[in-house]
Chain A
Amino acid sequence: MSDNGTFTPVIVGFLCNWCSYRAADLAGTSRMGYPATLRDIRIMCTGRLDPTFVLRALQKGADGVLIMGCHPGQCHYQEGNYKAIRRFALLRRTLRQLGIADERVQLHWASAAEGVRFAQTVARVTEQIRQLGPLDWAHNWPNEDPYAVEEAVHE
């Protein structure tokens, strides 16, 4: 919670190295302001996004996740973002079953030239999640770390 009592969400961002991370850089060099709610993680391509990353972020206390990549047809790895779209569709179904509102986990595009679009997207998603309120999902998890269970299965 921020000082004035309104809820300030924590959003984890997954940005692809070539388009959206550079869009964020451009938003920076162009000094475009947007809410300080996004904490971003760089991945080479949205195709690298393992859906478990999103679950992990929510489990560890994020109120939302924003995945951003190159526009369809403009992937630097040709088609990684198409893979991301497909995985995202499946992830969204899973999240719905877990009671996560669609607005909390979103997939958007921004090219390296679209600093404005990047900033606007962060602002919009922040507002949507602010309206939803805190996720507080962590307290809904069982006490043991689910990944510990998963890792145990792998052992």
Chain B
Amino acid sequence: MSEPRVGVYVCHCGHNIAGTVDVEHVAEWAMGLPNVVVSRDNKFMCASTGQEQVEQDIKEFDLTHVVVASCSPHMHEKTFRNACARAGLNPYMFEMANIREHASWVHPNDRDGATNKAKALVSAAVHRVVHHQPLEPMVVSIRPETLVVGGGIAGIQAALEIADAGYHVYLVEREPSIGGHMAMFDKTFPTLDCSACILTPKMFDAGGHPNITLLSYSEVERVDGYVGNFTVQVRKKARKVDQDLCTGCGSCWDKCPIRIVDTVFEAGLGYRKAIYRPFPQAVPKYPVIDVENCTYFKTGKCRMCEKVCPTNAIRFDMEDEIVELEVGNIILATGFKLFDARRIPQYGYGRLENVFTSLEFERLTNAAGPTEGKIVLRDGETTPKTVAIIHCVGSRDRNFNTHCSAICCMSSLKFAHLVMEKTGAQVYNFYIDMRPIHKGYEEFYHRIMEEGAQFVRGKVSEITGVARSPEEDGKVIVVCEDTLIGHQRRVPVDMVILAAGLEPRADAQAVGYLFGVGCGDTGFFTERHPKLDPVATVTEGVFIAGACQGAKDIPDSVAQGAAAAARVLGTISRREVSLEPIRASIDEERCSGCRICNNMCPYHAIDFIEEKGVSRVNPALCKGCGTCVAACPSQVISGAHFTFDQLMAEIDGILVDVLSDRPIVEAV
């Protein structure tokens, strides 16, 4: 092979780089690096003129490798790879040096330091790039079926979009009915339309859609395969009710003698039977038997539901069923968990009767809830005359969750409205900051203020039942520093609503592990890019939507559900997808078969081939992390684009000045 011919391009990025780094000097200096045949500086490399310069030089100077020193590869690596490809060079013969985010912007007062660092980074790229090899993206075919995990509003939306486009969807929901948290709500902000009225039609659409297979009361247990070709194992938990026979008439739960507190759908504020359907509009309409609480399963006696069932649909001997699904893409829409207000003991939830959580209040004010929509105290009778709503409970708080839960300002305003409308009570909102940021939200805030709700700015320090004066007797007292008037206040009220924050589900980490999706520092699933790729994940073919990605309200969840569906539909209609060729491969000739790498891979992409006594990487499963590459004691696993030679050369290049006679700091 002939000598490599490298072209180096150093970008000014207007003043962004050139303001700190001596760009012309770096370009000139780079001319002296090994294999460099052309080195230029340019005002804006990413502009069409910059790209055309690269293309032109590739042809004119017969370049074999290209280095661009500009911004982060996360910004423009693709741009320049494409430029190389247009000029007939394999796009992977390109390397980028990040001299903006990692040099000019972070060393603004150190022109020499920034320039020297830029030189080191350019040298690293030049040394590395000559070891690059042409790579071809891997092309895999895409099965048209999609798995949607989670039947809340985000999952329903995603499923419907894909199903309406004509492709099959498996919608898996853990609870007996789809609907998620939205099904529990009474009204939705800021329009105050009834949650059930807008959700129920979507639930029925999803439940009856010819392209949707609804797997309710089911959980995903295992995921194998890779983008386009996932094999998913789903456990259909035994409902103990034969869906082919059941009509959902309700005789069984009417007659069931066991009544227990429903901590899921009724948020602990209401009851359900041991055989139950979470709510009247449930989809599917069939009940399930709660085996843990059913008398028959505890003592072997009762069988009341069986006796009263007109269609003989009760099946006590029904077993869990394992279903295997073949899908091309997966959308996770597993939602959130409400912050457990008992973690803040000074707010008294669980100790003081009339302290409620936001979800409890949703049920309280819901016409289908335990009080049929009457807003009353825990005694079930008394209408409150004063109500305090505490914002940011467990959110924006270093002791619990640092993130803003995004919905609480608006839901608190909605609560204020509902309380005033239904009871005429005086409402106090205790807030830190008001953040009504979306369309129509600020207007709603003003409306609620005009309706007469009081707003006290300050973090509540304590909610107590300890009265200090006769007026406080029997009340719940909210203690808070009112930061606008600069005084400590004690506000006695009849009822307190804690606007508890949104948290990742308790099993988010485990679910993420199952699907190859990481969790960020707040515990929510991590998107591929926070701004430019919010519904994709690092695992190809696995998308996220709704509150599992971060706290969000209904409009945002719906938008993300639809966005994830659009991404899935895109791959389905392309029929195939190309994957980054950053993959590990094993040189079977030299593999000793020690199997050390087999357990290294979190994606089970390495198989041991018994008959040959060697290990082999399944390239479609490999994500290119390189853990096995570093682990191989024989150094026969190669990580494409991050090979041993490439990284060693990069290390040598980055230290080119230190030991060599090629100083970065030149005598002036």
A, B bound = yes
Interface residues of A (CB under 8 A from B): 2, 8, 10, 12, 18, 21-22, 24-25, 27-29, 31-45, 47-51, 53, 56-57, 60-62, 70-71, 73-80, 83, 87, 111-114, 119, 138, 147, 154
Instruction: Tell me the residues in window 94-119 of chain B with beta carbons closer than 8 Å to chain A beta carbons.
Output: 98, 100-103, 105-110, 112-114, 116-117
Residues of chain B in range 492-529 having any CB-CB distance to chain A below 8 Å: 509, 513, 516, 518-521, 526
B113 touches A28 (CB 8 A): no
By the criterion CB–CB under 8 Å, are B518 and A48 in contact?
no
Name A74's contact: one of B101, B521, B629, B644 (CB within 8 Å).
B521
Nearest first, the 7 closest Cβ-Cβ pairs linking A and B are A28-B101, A48-B626, A36-B113, A61-B658, A47-B627, A77-B625, A45-B625
B544 within 8 A of A: no
With contacts A45-B626, A61-B658 taken as known, whether A74 is within 8 angstroms of B648 at the C-beta atoms is no
- B73 contacts across to A, CB distance below 8 A: 42
Q: What residue in chain B is nearest A24 (Cβ atoms)?
A: B102
Q: How many residues of B contact A (CB 8 A)?
A: 57
Minimum Cβ distance to chain A for residue B82 (Å): 20
Contact B602 A78 (CB under 8 A): yes
Highest count of chain B CB atoms <10 Å: which of A53, A56, A60, A111: A60
The residue that A76 contacts in the complex, of B518, B635, B648, with Cβ under 8 A, is B518
Chain B residues within 8 Å of A, Cβ to Cβ: 72-74, 98, 100-103, 105-110, 112-114, 116-117, 120-121, 124, 509, 513, 516, 518-521, 526, 530, 538, 582, 600, 602-603, 623-627, 629-631, 635, 639, 642, 644, 647-648, 650-652, 654-655, 658-659
* A18 CB, nearest partner CB in chain B, Å: 7
Give the residues in chain B near A113, CB-CB below 8 Å.
520-521
A-B contact pairs, 29 of them (CB 8 A): A10-B655, A10-B658, A24-B102, A25-B98, A28-B101, A29-B105, A33-B109, A34-B107, A35-B110, A36-B107, A39-B124, A39-B654, A41-B647, A44-B582, A44-B626, A47-B625, A48-B630, A48-B642, A56-B648, A60-B652, A60-B658, A60-B659, A73-B519, A74-B519, A76-B526, A77-B602, A80-B625, A113-B521, A119-B106
Contact in complex: A44, B642 (CB < 8 Å)? yes
Is B530's CB under 8 angstroms from A112's CB? Answer: yes
| Nearest opposing residue in chain B for A22, CB measure | B74
* Residue contact A12 to B655, C-beta cutoff 8 Å: yes
A28-B101, A36-B113, A111-B521 known; 19 new pairs, CB 8 Å cut-off, are A2-B112, A12-B651, A18-B538, A24-B106, A25-B102, A29-B101, A29-B105, A33-B106, A33-B107, A38-B117, A40-B102, A48-B642, A53-B651, A60-B652, A74-B520, A76-B538, A76-B625, A83-B600, A113-B520
Q: Is the CB of A48 within 8 A of B106?
A: no
B residues within 8 A CB of A53? 647-648, 651
Q: In the complex the two chains form, is B630's CB within 8 Å of A34's CB?
A: no
The answer to whether B520 touches A44 (Cβ under 8 A) is no
Q: Tell me which residues across on chain B come within 8 A of A12, comparing CB atoms.
A: 651, 654-655
B113 to A35, Cβ gap below 8 A?
A: yes
Interface centre among B107, B121, B644 (most CB of A within 10 A): B107
In the bound complex, do residue A41 and residue B105 qualify as a contact, i.e. CB atoms below 8 Å apart? no
**A31 touching B106, Cβ below 8 Å:** yes
Q: Report the nearest B residue to A71, measured CB to CB.
A: B521
**Contact between B105 and A80, CB atoms less than 8 A apart:** no
The interface residues of chain A lying within 8 Å CB-to-CB of B121 are 39-40
> For B103, what are the chain A residues with a Cβ–Cβ distance below 8 Å?
36
Shortest A155–chain B CB gap in Å is 12
CA distance A97 to B124 in the complex (A): 29
Instruction: Write the nearest CB–CB distance from B139 to chain A, whole angstroms.
Output: 21
Q: A33-B107, A41-B650, A83-B600 are in contact. Are A48 and B629 (CB under 8 A)?
A: yes
B114 & A36 in contact (Cβ 8 Å cutoff): yes
Residues on the B chain within 8 Å of A40, using CB: 102, 121
User: Which of B108, B112, B624, B654 counts the most A-chain CB atoms under 10 A from its CB?
Assistant: B654
In the complex, residue of chain B having the shortest beta-carbon distance to the beta carbon of A26: B101
Residues of B within 8 A of A8 (CB): 113
Nearest-neighbor residue (CB-CB) of A41 within chain B: B650
A74 engages B124 (CB within 8 Å):
no
User: Do the beta carbons of A28 and B521 come within 8 Å of each other?
Assistant: no
Shortest Cβ distance from B199 into chain A, in angstroms?
A: 33
Known interface pairs A39-B120, A49-B630. Does A61 touch B642 (Cβ–Cβ under 8 Å)?
A: no
In whole angstroms, what is the CA distance A147 to B648 when docked? 11
Q: What residues on B are CB-neighbors of A37 within 8 Å?
A: 113
Q: How far is the CA of A111 from the CA of B522 in the complex (A)?
A: 11
Hey, which chain B residues are within 8 Å of A119, CB to CB? 106
Which residues in B have their C-beta under 8 angstroms from that of A74? Answer: 518-521, 526
A83 contacts across to B, CB distance below 8 A: 600, 627, 630-631
Quick check: A43 and B74 within 8 Å, CB to CB?
no
The reply to whether A43 and B626 form a contact with Cβ atoms under 8 Å apart is yes
Bound complex: CA of A78 vs CA of B114, how far in Å?
35
CA distance A32 to B526 in the complex (A): 24
Most chain A beta-carbon neighbours within 10 Å: one of B106, B113, B647 = B106
Contact across chains for B659 and A77 when beta carbons are under 8 A apart: no
A28–B659 Cα distance when bound, in Å, is 29
In the bound complex, do residue B623 and residue A77 qualify as a contact, i.e. CB atoms below 8 Å apart?
yes
When A36-B116, A78-B602 are in contact, do A41 and B651 touch as well, CB less than 8 Å? yes
Is B520 in contact with A28, judged by CB distance below 8 angstroms? no
